Structures are given as structure tokens and as C-alpha cells.
Structure 1
Amino acid sequence: MKININSIPFSRYGSYFVISDFDEGLLLRDVHGGDESPSELFRLSFDEEVVLDCDETKLTIHKKTDRNAKVEFIYPTDSTVHIKTSGLALKLDAEKVRYDSFNSMEKNNYEYISYKKETKYHLEVLSGEMAVDAPWRTVGNDYISLELAADSELYLTNYRVIYELVKPQPFEEAHAVVQKEYQEWLSNMPETQPEYQQPHNLAAYLLWTNTVQADGLLKLPITYMSKNWMQNIWSWDNCFNALLMAERYPELAYNQLKIFNLYQDESGAYPDFINDKYVSYNCVKPPIHAWAYQKMIAINAQFGEESFLAEMYDSFSQNTNFWLKYRSHDGLPYYTHGNDSGWDNASIFHEGFPITAPDLTAYLIRQMDILAEFADKLRKHDEATEWRQQADELYERFLPTFFDGKQLRAFHTFTG
């Protein structure tokens, strides 16, 4: 499948490395630190006019007038990039900050220490030549400019503290391994109908390429929505990813929700988003999680087993009580920001906050009904009765509160 890296980044399962083609140019990036952290590592350029050709496992950049003159990129592992040039040289200019340093180690080996990313990179020239222009000035390099000659290979590895020496596989062998990994992933996706095969394959690739390995605050492998500009996991989008992975990748699907259990506030609120460096509680997301988990159980009965269900029931209960106890006025839940809603810039938020909205109340009613079902399955019948009673009471208020005879309305929480 052809991948347009203007909109979809070239990466791989588990990796924080990304190649993106933005308006400002072709960039090798590292998405550690989330979408508020500058991700640019190297700007990639060529002396010749080039054309990009990308599929799920390899990016090829070839000379416009000669397809045999090319530079190829693969990700042999989730922490490495292998670059091979054939008849075409590649320039890599570091997007550095003051203290970044580029050190020459033993022959054909270099270490790039990035303060911006708080990460180190080992670069090894496997064959051919790489010219290094990186003049030193007291505390860092003035600039770092590399040129990988035609018919050369460069192997780039990221690490935090200690680099463990590895012997890379030959380029074609490594690519074959990655191709096999991806085909196994794709073949294990739920089946679809022929007319939907192309978007189905695209969705499968997005799940694969947007997954990152456990690192830092991310205690579990999880799936971002994008590695171009949404380099976090949100307590809303996580549900959509979990639904598609529930059938064939249950552990990864479960992780999408479990990661928020690990950082659930004492109040019961889930973080708005998490990345490897940061957890944000500034906003929250609506209580849709029990609804999503109920659908996951319908897809894969494993999620209904008592050990899994009990953990999620306890977490969803705490989250529901957050809305009931700490984010309600006159018994009705309210938003304090558009980012709380999943409809960040919706028109009901154009006049300010806090806002009491019908969608949020509906989500809360549905969540309590589902929690009642879960409680019965866990033999917590008193709790089930309480959830149903609270859901019914809120339901009885729903239309009188929000329906004006023609349509549903939101209103300012404290002025009406």
C-alpha cells in the first residue's frame, strides 16, 4: 500500500522514530515527550530533485530522472533506523539546541547527545563514507551537518544512558524481517468486505505504525492517534483504538484503557492524556469508557472474565463518581473546557464555561446503566441497584432539562 507521508508518518510498531514530509521539509523525528516537545532531529535533503515512494515497511527516495539512484529507510527494530544510499547522497542537518553535542567515537562511530529530546543516538557508518561538519564552540557544536555519500549505509540507534553494541543484519534481510512482522499483524486484523479493503488496510497500518513501546511514564505499549501531531494517548481516542484491536490483539487493546487506570487521580478523574514524559490532568474526557468496554466484551469474551472485568469496573466506578461528586451542579454534570468533551471546538462552547450539556448527561446515564450490568456479573447486587437508581433519576430529568420542544439545548451551568 502506498503511504503519503505528508499526512501519515512513516514509522513502525513500537518506535519513537518517525519520518514526516511537512511544509518545512523532510524530517527525521523522535516523538518522545509528546506533542508539546520539539520532535525534529535531522532535516533530510538532496542535491538532486527527488520523488518519495513509501509503503508500510520501507521509505524510498529516488532521483526524479533515475529511479536506480535512491536512498532507502527501514526500521529494523523499534529503536533503530537503517539508511542505505545507492547512487544518491543524503544530507542530514541536525535541528539542535545549545548544548547538543556530536562526538566522534571509534572509527565510523558517533554519538549525538540531544538535550532537546533528553535522548542519545549512536550513529554507525556500516559501509561507504559519511562527512561530518560539526565545529565545536565551548559547550556544544555550532551546527551539525552530515553527508552520507552515495553507496553507503548508516545505522542509527536511540538510547537513554548506555548504548548496547549490536551487529545489524544486512539491509535486505532486515527489511524482510520487518515485512514479515507487518504481514503477520495485517493478517491478524479482523476481516472486512472487499469494497472496504483499502481503508481497512490503512486503519491496520495506522494502528501498527502509531504504537510505541513502553518507556518512561508509559508503563505499557500503547497506541497514539498519530505520530505527526498527536503524540499522546488520550482518554477518549484510546477507546476507538481498543475496539479495533479487541478481537485479535486483546492485550494491546486492554493496555489502551489500563494505562489510564495506572494514573487515575484520587478523585476518580482520568488524565486527559499521557506520554512517556508527562501526564496532564488539565482536562478530562466524557465517561464513555464503560460503553467501550462493553463493546470490547461483545467482540472478545476474554474481557468479560472476572479478573479483567473487576479491575475495569472499579476504575469506571471511581471515574463515574468523579462526575457525580466533583463535576456536577444541581445533580447535572458539566464541562469546564471544550477539551473535556471530545468535541473540542463545538459551537456550544463559543460563549464560555462551565457548560451543562445533554451529551455529557447522556454519557453518564449510559455509563451507570452499564456499571449496573457489570456489578451484577460481579455479584455486587447492592451496587447494581444503586447504579440503576441513579441512572433512572438522571434519565427522568433529561428531557425536561435539555429539550425545549424543538431541539436539545446546552446552557451555562450557573446562570442557565
Structure 2
Amino acid sequence: MSNSEFCQLDVLEENGEFLLVLEEVRDSWINRNISYDIQEVCRNAREDFERFYQSMPSVPEEYEDAREKAAYVNWSSIVNKLGLLKRDAMFMSKNWMCNVWSWDHCFNALALAYHNPKEAWNQFMIMFDHQSETGRIPDSINDSIIIDNYCKPPIHGWTLRRLKKIMKLDMEQLEEAYEKLSRWTLWWLNYRDQDGDGLCEYTHGNDSGWDNSTPFRMLPPVTLPDLAAFLIIQMEELSVLAEQTGRRADSVLWKERSESMLSRMQEKLFDGGRPKALQTVTGKEVENNSLLLYLPVVLGKKLPEEIRGYLTEQLKSDKFLTEFGLATESPSSELYEADGYWRGPIWAPSTMLLADGLWECGEEDFVRDITHRFCKAVQQSGCAENFDALTGAGLRDRAYTWTASVMLVMAHEYLG
């Protein structure tokens, strides 16, 4: 239907009423002469949604309306396994982002983990069903298409760490996680360290998930501290997994790699606590006012006090903080755009990653504050893909699942 310029429906009226049934057909339609009771169909759908809604993380009463809307966005985006989808999946949206992207799915897995652990694990692992021989995972998938032209940042170790705090994993899951995550991490180490300096780089803005953000205003590849931070956490988590699965030598190796990258990141990508973006080939600093460079706060107290203090101070200032949360480009920047995708609007994933690190740094009050601000945007404008940083208006796709999931998890964890 998405490619049709014109569609005509013929219906047969009976006593002034008609029942119209739309069926999705993979091959050829067969008239099965099924009789539908519209009241029963609606009742079953309501009951199914109510079960799902009640399984979502609890939130303070003031955000219960937002919780119900978030639950509906997520519930309505779940599809059965079919074709290239080897597991039941939650799409990013049923509007037009009808795919699973390889970092979006992590946040949805977290929202499911509290009371739907099987579904959460499937959502977390679904991209790894199409992992390449080299260890790379696709950019996105749906039932009929795999997109490989980009990738997304390796936040999967961070996600697994959070999942383990919410749900219990058995040995089979630990083994699966170790095998998949180790190959994914080695792909970055083997294929994304062009200059051999011990730090990986992004070859395109899309690979970072922050497609058009200002650190990519110069010709990539670009070496950024957020990528190092994600890999440090992922290798640290692999060290834990290796120990849990009896791979003691691997555990030591991953720990050494993690510590080495942490040291290299501090040495090359920070200057007096200030994070830097470097054009990989020339070594030139890319001037920018992007929130992306502050994501290393996700490392929490693993960061030296000087770096931790600088990042926290800037995040708490009016450089990024607005009425509705943390803008992805400073509103004072000449490159700020109200609807500039990653050049201004507030996004769910950046909010949650920063909140997690700030909480680990002991900034509980500030995390509660930005959680309230983000929930206010959702309460006001729904689960939009992103939000105008100054007005809170919803932008782009207006019913996006990672926004719903982040609101649910953050309100539950930080305000519950």
C-alpha cells in the first residue's frame, strides 16, 4: 500500500452498515470466508493492551497518563516474527520508521525487562541474528530488508549491564551474550581504528546515531570520546561475562583492553577536562557545541574527578539545559536549529545515557530534575521522535518507541 498512488475500496452495505476487514497478504489472497465480530475483536484488543499496559514499569501518579500513552505506542508497534525477523519485534514506529534500528532496540528491551523478560531478551538480541562473519550487526532490519550501509554505536554492553540489574539471565543467555558481544566489539577494534592509535572512530555521522550533529561538520572519520566510553563499558562487561562463563584468560584480556582505552581516551580526547572531537586523518579539532561530546559521563566514577567535574558543570549550566531537558546542540550555538534533528532538539537516548552516568556520579537531584523535564515534554507532546528544546513541541515521527521506553524507565527508576 505504501507505493500505491491510488486505492479504491468497494464495500457492500447491509441495513445501513458494513464491516470492512483489511488483511496483509504475503503472496496471494484466499477467501477463507471468515466471519468477524467487531465487538469481540475490539474487546480482545482492549484486553491485550490492558495486559501490556499493566506490565510496563510503574511511574509516579502525575505521569500515569503519559505512561498509558507510552504503553500504547510500544504495544501498537509490536509485530510477530516473519521473514527476516527471527523473533517477535518492536518496531521504532508504526508511522514510517517501521524498522528495528541497532541502538533503538536497546532502550525498548529495557522497558520490557521488568515484567516481560523473554520479550526483552528477544528485543535485545534481535539484531545479532544477522551478525556478519566479521562481527558487525546491521544498521536496521524489518521482515523483508536488511540495511548494512551504516551501523550504530556499541551501547549493547551498557544495555546488558542494565538488563542484568532488572532481570535474571541464565547461563545460556550469558553464553549467547558473550559470543555476540565479543564479536561485535572486535569488529570495532579490528575495522574502525584507521590510524592505529588505540581509539576507534566513526566513518559517518549516521554510525554514531547522531546523524547530522556538529562534530561531523568536517570530513570524517572523526574520533569522539562517546565511542570510546561505550567500548570501555562493553569490554568491561565482556570481562565480567567471561568470568561468569569460565573464560578466565579472556576476562583478564578484556579488562586490560578496557583500561587501556580508558587511559588513551583521557590522554587524547580531553583537555583540562574538556572533551574534544578530532578529525582522524589530520588530527585537527572539530569545533562544535554538541551534547554528543558529553556522553562519556556514562562512565560515572571511572572518570577522573577533573573530567567528571567539567562534564557535570557544563551539563547543569544553561549551555544545554532548557525547560524540557538537555538540547543536543547548545541553543547559544550559531549552528542550533529548533528542528535540526541532532542540532538542537531533545532526544530520549541522549537523555537516558547522560542520566545514567550522572546518577553514578552522585548527581541524583539533577537526574530527577531532567527526568521531570523530559516527562513534561512527553506529557505535553506525546512520544515524539524528538522535541523542540525551547518549546517542548513534538517533532518528526510523532509516536516513537524509544521515547516511550525511555520515559517509562527513567520515571520508574529515578522518580519512583
| CA distance, structure 2, for counterparts of residue 168 and residue 176 of structure 1 | 16
User: Is residue 2:149 matched to residue 1:282?
Assistant: yes
> Partner of 2:360 in structure 1?
none
| CA distance, structure 1, for counterparts of residue 167 and residue 133 of structure 2 | 30
For 1:191, give the aligned amino acid: S
User: Is residue 2:120 matched to residue 1:259?
Assistant: no
The TM-score, its normalising length taken from structure 2, stands at 0.64
| CA distance, structure 1, for counterparts of residue 12 and residue 117 of structure 2 | 39
For 1:366, give the aligned amino acid: I
DSSP 3-state at the match of 1:333: coil
Q: Deviations over 1:101-125 (max 9, x none)?
A: xxxxxxxxxxxxxxxxxxxxxx895
| CA distance, structure 1, for counterparts of residue 246 and residue 238 of structure 2 | 12
| CA distance, structure 1, for counterparts of residue 241 and residue 62 of structure 2 | 37
| CA distance, structure 1, for counterparts of residue 60 and residue 70 of structure 2 | 14
User: 1:127–1:154: 8 Å Cα contact kept in structure 2?
Assistant: no
User: Is residue 2:263 matched to residue 1:396?
Assistant: yes
> Partner of 1:128 in structure 2?
14
Please state how far the C-alpha of 1:348 moved relative to its aligned partner.
0.2
| CA distance, structure 1, for counterparts of residue 103 and residue 31 of structure 2 | 37
User: Is residue 2:94 matched to residue 1:94?
Assistant: no
DSSP 3-state at the match of 2:236: helix
The TM-score, its normalising length taken from structure 1, stands at 0.64
Moved over 6 A (4+): none
| CA distance, structure 1, for counterparts of residue 160 and residue 200 of structure 2 | 22
> Partner of 2:110 in structure 1?
243
For 2:152, give the aligned amino acid: K
Task: Give aligned-pair identity as a percent.
Answer: 37
> What CA RMSD, in Å, does the superposition of the two structures yield over aligned residues?
2.0
For 1:291, give the aligned amino acid: W
Aligned residues: 280
> Partner of 2:182 in structure 1?
317
Q: Deviations over 1:250-291 (max 9, x none)?
A: 222112222211110111111010011111111111111021
User: 1:128–1:153: 8 Å Cα contact kept in structure 2?
Assistant: no
DSSP 3-state at the match of 2:49: helix
Please state how far the C-alpha of 1:199 moved relative to its aligned partner.
1.6
Q: Deviations over 1:63-94 (max 9, x none)?
A: xxxxxxxxxxxxxxxxxxxxxxxxxxxxxx51
> Partner of 1:153 in structure 2?
19
| CA distance, structure 1, for counterparts of residue 56 and residue 143 of structure 2 | 27
Q: Deviations over 1:165-196 (max 9, x none)?
A: 15233211221111111111112222222012
User: 1:124–1:156: 8 Å Cα contact kept in structure 2?
Assistant: no
Gapped runs of 5+ residues in structure 2? Answer: 284-416
| CA distance, structure 2, for counterparts of residue 264 and residue 281 of structure 1 | 10
| CA distance, structure 1, for counterparts of residue 266 and residue 150 of structure 2 | 27
Gapped runs of 5+ residues in structure 1? Answer: 1-29, 31-38, 43-92, 96-122, 130-149
For 1:128, give the aligned amino acid: E
Residue 295 (structure 1) aligned to one of 154, 162, 177: 162
> Partner of 1:16 in structure 2?
none
For 2:121, give the aligned amino acid: Y
| CA distance, structure 2, for counterparts of residue 164 and residue 266 of structure 1 | 43
Q: Deviations over 1:219-263 (max 9, x none)?
A: 221111111121110110000000000122222211222221111
**More RCO (CA 8 Å, sep 6+):** 2
Please state how far the C-alpha of 1:298 moved relative to its aligned partner.
0.9
| CA distance, structure 1, for counterparts of residue 252 and residue 105 of structure 2 | 29
Residue 355 (structure 1) aligned to one of 204, 207, 222: 222
| CA distance, structure 2, for counterparts of residue 269 and residue 412 of structure 1 | 23
For 1:248, give the aligned amino acid: H
Q: 1:300 to 1:164 in 2, by over 3 A?
A: farther
| CA distance, structure 2, for counterparts of residue 310 and residue 271 of structure 1 | 21
397-406 or 314-323, which deviates more: 397-406
